[in-house]
Amino acid sequence: MTTQTIPAADTAGLPSGTQAAVLHGARDLRIEHKPLAALGPNDVLVEMRSGGICGSDMHYYADGRNGTNVLRQPTVLGHEGAGVVIAAGAQATVAAGTAVVIEPALPCGNCPTCLSGRYNLCPAGTCFGSPPTDGLFARHVVVPERAVHVLPDSIPAEIGAAIEPLAVAVWAVERAQVQKGQRVLITGAGPIGLLVSQVAAAKGAAEIVVTDVNDHRLAVATKFGATRTINTATEPLDLTNMDRLIECSGNTRALADGIRTLAPATRATVVGQARPTVDGIPLGFLQRYEIDLVTAFRYAHAFPTAIGLASSGAVDLPSIITGTYPLEDAAAALTAPVTDPTNLKVLITY
């Protein structure tokens, strides 16, 4: 259903507050009522339908920190989210009734990095759900219109939050410069690795090898584009002359071992969260064979491609979702991938 855009001043009947999952400290998550920001002329008010659990959310919940970012004040978690616009500011063009997915990183838009198109690297940027910026695990959110992407009818908002990790995978494959006919090694069969496998297959990779230490996830990988799987806990990594390595596990040994499988003049791409400093990377091997070591951080201009891949069926988005929880059970959702290792992408639904 599409209705007339609501002017910013016409807020009668709209919620002034909402329920949200607020993290106060490690393992201290509370469902609280939070006031909503005023609807600005370029904003939209989104009634949420789905929110995805990411590893960063799990780290904030378990430890009160994710990498170097530490929780210092109560913060609403969540950066993967989709819903339906229920009101729009006077200058916004997305009409009420439109299903959207939210791109959570908000760059400044004015610095040289943003103007170059690499807005994912904006030094002044913020991201929903990255403390102290409140996130998307709420029944309603007010966001800038520039942060939303319209979902086609083929992608219900109830699973639309999974577009965000798919955008991560799209950007990873782009940074890896995967080309048709190449041999690709993907280390880590979590949600990102499995999505990377599907995107690499859509790019035309001839061989896709996925490694992990979880047999269940490796079995899933064979359904998502992998031509071969290797459990590196029990099998040797007997690969040579691979064209691309896309490291999705965050494991230093996986990166080091994966690099050694590469042919000369190829490329290794770090996607899994890297440690601040890392020993054991074969720098001499990289230099001897001029293997490019690059990194991927979030994404830039990747949401339209992700939406297109999911809409066309080239990526099987529904099959990556293995659990749903109501907002009231957000704490259980944040531990579900740990308590049940067969879980892949877990969603909060509203």
Which of the residues in the chain have pLDDT under 70?
1-12
> Domain 17-159+317-349 adopts which CATH fold?
Quinone Oxidoreductase; Chain A, domain 1 (3.90.180)
pLDDT of residue 11: 57
pLDDT of residue 330: 98
- Tell me how crowded residue 339 is: count the other CB atoms within 10 A of its CB: 8
d(CA 39, CA 51): 21
In degrees, rounded to 5, the angle at the alpha carbon of residue 123 between the alpha carbons of residues 34 and 248 is: 85
**Structure tokens that stand for 160 in this block:** 């639309």
Question: What's the predicted TM-score (pTM) here?
Answer: 0.94
pLDDT of residue 129: 98
pLDDT of residue 279: 92
Q: Are strands 228-231 and 242-247 parallel, antiparallel or unpaired?
A: unpaired
pLDDT of residue 3: 33
CB-based contacts of 153: which residues, under 8 Å, 6+ apart?
none
> Do 119 and 109 meet the contact criterion of CB atoms below 8 Å apart?
yes
pLDDT digits (tens, 9 = 90+) for 36-60: 999 999 999 999 999 999 999 999 9
pLDDT of residue 67: 87
> Do 171 and 309 meet the contact criterion of CB atoms below 8 Å apart?
no
Domain boundaries, the chain: 17-159+317-349, 169-295
d(CA 181, CA 264): 17
- Tell me how crowded residue 92 is: count the other CB atoms within 10 A of its CB: 25
pLDDT of residue 48: 98
> Domain 169-295 adopts which CATH fold?
Rossmann fold (3.40.50)
DSSP string covering 175-225: HHT--TT-EEEEE--SHHHHHHHHHHHHTT-SEEEEEES-HHHHHHHTTTT
pLDDT of residue 12: 61
Produce one character per residue of 270-291: b if its CB has 16 or more CB atoms within 10 Å, e if not.
bbbeeeeeeeeebeeebeeeeb
Q: Which amino acid is at 302?
A: A
pLDDT of residue 111: 98
pLDDT of residue 13: 76
